[in-house]
Chain A
């Protein structure tokens, strides 16, 4: 069965949770969703990424430059990822659409893993 990467993008300017309670509530929705796709046999793994821009490496004419992440070009940051199992893009999207991430104003990019 093919594997898909769900890339969870978030808007940099999104309002931050203001209290532990709010954090907890959000964490719990992700946790419940993770448990659900695990029960359904889709879940393979997933991690939250740290809330920073990361680093970008580029080869500019033979010289590699390292710059701070994508803030400069985009209002979005990659906040986390899931690796799931699904029959095809259709099923992968059906799984992704139930994620609480969309409800918090995030965007999910679904990409199939190239099987070798």
Chain B
């Protein structure tokens, strides 16, 4: 096999298998040994990269990697005995372990509960989840967070130290503990999704990967009886609806396409169907959370045949309910935009102008939305000012292209026909 070919195979396998092997080893060795486990898994993939090009790819590569990682873990356990009493029981658990038993849902969820322990800061939770559960390298995590690998490593070291100090058990919590720990897990996945969906300056591809991972993790939650709550289903629905539009969100020049401009034929229909299934499960639960409403709003868009056919009064109604549960400036902003669609640009603009402009000063969507409404009211110079203001905020490349086009539109004379983008 050619070198490049086996390299690609290993990196593909790494993403898929590293998290499974880590979760399996964490079950055998305990979550306080995440460092040892990550090193062992890393070593195993290093050995694969060195050997497979010459020896050929083994018949069952995933099991081969699990065996290699386990053997490395055993060596490292011996090394550990230099500074602490030898953990004989852990060695025997490795000795009797079954390397074909990786990928169990219980193990992956237990690892997620460790990584998303409420004692960890939210970004520590998401970074550790990406690293251990999703098999992202430190460089990829750094890319997702627009920071340096060193900074990521520091955060991970701190997070793992906290986990050791907490002396966590490797398990899916039960009873009241489950209720205390699940919200952090859901919040972390939401953050991962949000980071992917609105990655500032980030690369589009990375953003999609984050969304795909968030979708995978949220779906895992809905597959286990302990974690398949209404809120978990709502989260899975929300991410599915948004991720279904990933392929339609950018135009040929890489510019951002708004909901109104997207080719709905490019939406991922099977994924939207999955979203509706999760939404139905979410609605059969007896609690209504903010995520339920966010999912319902996304569903209203996903179910509309065209932008013009959007049921804006319903969307505005959901936003109204959401504002009560989650009265953040960003939710109020989106509520105002929905009202603008339902009741006209003047009403929407009045709602926007009633918001706390200071809190939204660095938020591009606020200025962009004002610009769009002002343009619809034909207040062109004000529209241009607001759009220019949006361009000074943190933006992704597609968003920037979109807003620059809008700015030209604001500055063009009304009688000049607007060139198609």
CB of A34 within 8 A of CB of B95, answer: yes
Query: At the interface, yes or no: A47 with Cβ under 8 Å from chain B?
Result: yes
Q: Which of A28, A34, A47, A48 contacts B74 (CB 8 A)?
A: A28
Q: 8 Å CB contacts to A: which residues of B116-158?
A: none
Query: At the interface, yes or no: B78 with Cβ under 8 Å from chain A?
Result: yes
CB of B78 within 8 A of CB of A20, answer: yes
Query: Shortest beta-carbon distance, B300 to chain A, in Å?
Result: 50
Q: How far is the CA of A34 from the CA of B67 in the complex (A)?
A: 11
CB of B91 within 8 A of CB of A23, answer: yes
Q: Which of B71, B86, B96, B98 contacts A30 (CB 8 A)?
A: B96
CB of B91 within 8 A of CB of A38, answer: no
CB of B92 within 8 A of CB of A48, answer: yes
Query: At the interface, yes or no: A27 with Cβ under 8 Å from chain B?
Result: yes
Complex contacts, B92 vs chain A, CB 8 Å: 27, 48
Q: 8 Å CB contacts to A: which residues of B66-82?
A: 67, 70-71, 74-75, 77-78, 81
CB of A45 within 8 A of CB of B91, answer: no
Residue of A nearest to B101 (CB): A45
Contact string against B for A residues 35-52, beta-carbon threshold 8 Å, 1 for contact and 0 otherwise: 100100001011110100
CB of A35 within 8 A of CB of B96, answer: no
Given the known A-B contacts A27-B91, A28-B74, are A48 and B96 also in contact in the complex, defined by CB atoms under 8 Å? yes
Complex contacts, A45 vs chain B, CB 8 Å: 98
Main secondary structure of the interface of A (DSSP, over half): helix
CB of B81 within 8 A of CB of A20, answer: yes
Query: At the interface, yes or no: B329 with Cβ under 8 Å from chain A?
Result: no
Q: Which of A20, A34, A50, A80 contacts B86 (CB 8 A)?
A: A20
Q: Which of A21, A31, A43, A50 contacts B95 (CB 8 A)?
A: A31
Q: 8 Å CB contacts to B: which residues of A1-32?
A: 20-21, 23-24, 27-28, 30-31
Complex contacts, A28 vs chain B, CB 8 Å: 71, 74, 95
CB of B86 within 8 A of CB of A31, answer: no
Residue of B nearest to A27 (CB): B95
Tally of contact residues, B, Cβ under 8 A? 20
CB of A21 within 8 A of CB of B78, answer: yes
Complex contacts, B91 vs chain A, CB 8 Å: 23-24, 27
CB of A23 within 8 A of CB of B88, answer: yes
CB of A31 within 8 A of CB of B74, answer: yes
CB of A27 within 8 A of CB of B98, answer: no
Query: What are 25 A-to-B residue pairs whose CB atoms are below 8 Å?
Result: A20-B81, A20-B86, A21-B78, A23-B86, A23-B88, A23-B91, A24-B77, A24-B78, A24-B91, A27-B74, A27-B91, A27-B94, A28-B71, A28-B95, A30-B96, A31-B70, A31-B74, A31-B95, A34-B95, A34-B96, A35-B67, A38-B100, A48-B92, A48-B93, A48-B95
Residue of B nearest to A80 (CB): B96
Query: At the interface, yes or no: B99 with Cβ under 8 Å from chain A?
Result: yes
Complex contacts, B78 vs chain A, CB 8 Å: 20-21, 24
Complex contacts, B71 vs chain A, CB 8 Å: 28, 31
Pairs A-B, 8 closest by C-beta atoms: A20-B81, A20-B86, A27-B95, A48-B92, A31-B95, A27-B91, A24-B78, A30-B95
Contact string against B for A residues 44-74, beta-carbon threshold 8 Å, 1 for contact and 0 otherwise: 0111101000000000000000000000000
Q: Which of B77, B88, B89, B94 contacts A31 (CB 8 A)?
A: B94
Q: How far is the CA of A111 from the CA of B78 in the complex (A)?
A: 35
Complex contacts, A30 vs chain B, CB 8 Å: 95-96
Complex contacts, B74 vs chain A, CB 8 Å: 24, 27-28, 31
Query: Shortest beta-carbon distance, A47 to chain B, in Å?
Result: 6
Query: Shortest beta-carbon distance, B221 to chain A, in Å?
Result: 29
Which of B75, B92, B94 has the most CB atoms of chain A within a 10 A radius of its CB?
B92
Complex contacts, A20 vs chain B, CB 8 Å: 78, 81, 86
Complex contacts, B100 vs chain A, CB 8 Å: 38
Which of B74, B88, B95, B96 has the most CB atoms of chain A within a 10 A radius of its CB?
B95
CB of B86 within 8 A of CB of A35, answer: no
Q: How far is the CA of A38 from the CA of B99 in the complex (A)?
A: 10
Which of A31, A35, A43, A80 has the most CB atoms of chain B within a 10 A radius of its CB?
A31
Query: Shortest beta-carbon distance, A114 to chain B, in Å?
Result: 24
